[in-house]
Amino acid sequence: MPELPEVETVVRDLRESLVGRTFQSVRIGRKRLRRPWSSAWNRQLIGCTVAGVQRRGKWILIDLGGPWLVAHLGMTGQLRVVPTIAPRQDHTHVIGCLDRGLELRFRDPRRFGSISYFADQAGVDAFFTADRLGPEPFALDPAGWRESLKRTRRCLKAVLLDQTVIAGVGNIYADEALFEARLHPTLTANGVTLHQADALRRAVVRVLKRAIARRGSTIRDYLDGNGKAGGYQHEFRVYGRTGQPCSRCKTPVASIRLAGRSTHFCSGCQRA
């Protein structure tokens, strides 16, 4: 599933191609996405001009100068602006016809993603409040972060995956951040020291920034807003490297299952 760096990359690409474009019509496919599209939204979008594109956690927010479109890429979603004459790929479920011969296309083979319309900012705020979406990693209050860890006996890996605690981090970057901080993924959150808590917070930010600079990670399906693969997968230090030597100490990278996800770590650098 695309995580924060992949979504941020798509958002930056969309800003370049989508801001200033006006919706002229909307076409919807027959198959239902994770969140159903209402036919009433087709009429409401006509005449709306894109004022900006933002990210919140793993969500893409398209500002229409009052109304909003809110999209989630799910596992295989792709959101791109392309010329109207570009061949339409299979599994394209939402097409926003724009001015200047362009289209905003949402494609999702597995249909775990979604794109929804909100009439105003209050609707968007209520949506994220109901979803209990946590703070952004780059704006994480150190004291609040330490308190979040102290309140739970879950392992650190599970805490990092919890979108109500920290928004945008998924399996890949949780593993990479724990390696960066030299913390074992099974450590109990309320048992870490203040120093370890701060080290993990800083590690999350460093890893995410490096991944954004490489335009995200392509493991299988992810493509950026220009239809290109990311590059950070070539720099993984533990994720997906089971049995390979650690880049720091040469201990073979281990893999276990935690919080329902495969988890990669170095038993030499990350002591339990």
> Which residues are the active-site residues?
2-3, 58, 261
**Are the C-beta atoms of residues 73 and 7 closer than 8 Å to each other?**
yes
DSSP annotation of 76 reads T
**Residue 124 in 3-state DSSP?**
helix
For the record, the structure tokens of 238 come out as 């533990």
Supply 46's token pair. 């006509």
Residues in contact with 207: Cβ distance below 8 Å, sequence separation at least 6, in sequence order: 173, 176, 177, 180
Four-residue CA torsion sign, 169, 173, 176, 180: negative
The region, left, alpha or beta by phi > 0 then psi within -120 to 50, assigned to residue 268 is alpha
Q: How many residues does the chain have?
A: 272
According to DSSP, the residues that pair with 266 across neighbouring strands are 253
Q: Which two tokens stand for residue 55?
A: 């990210």
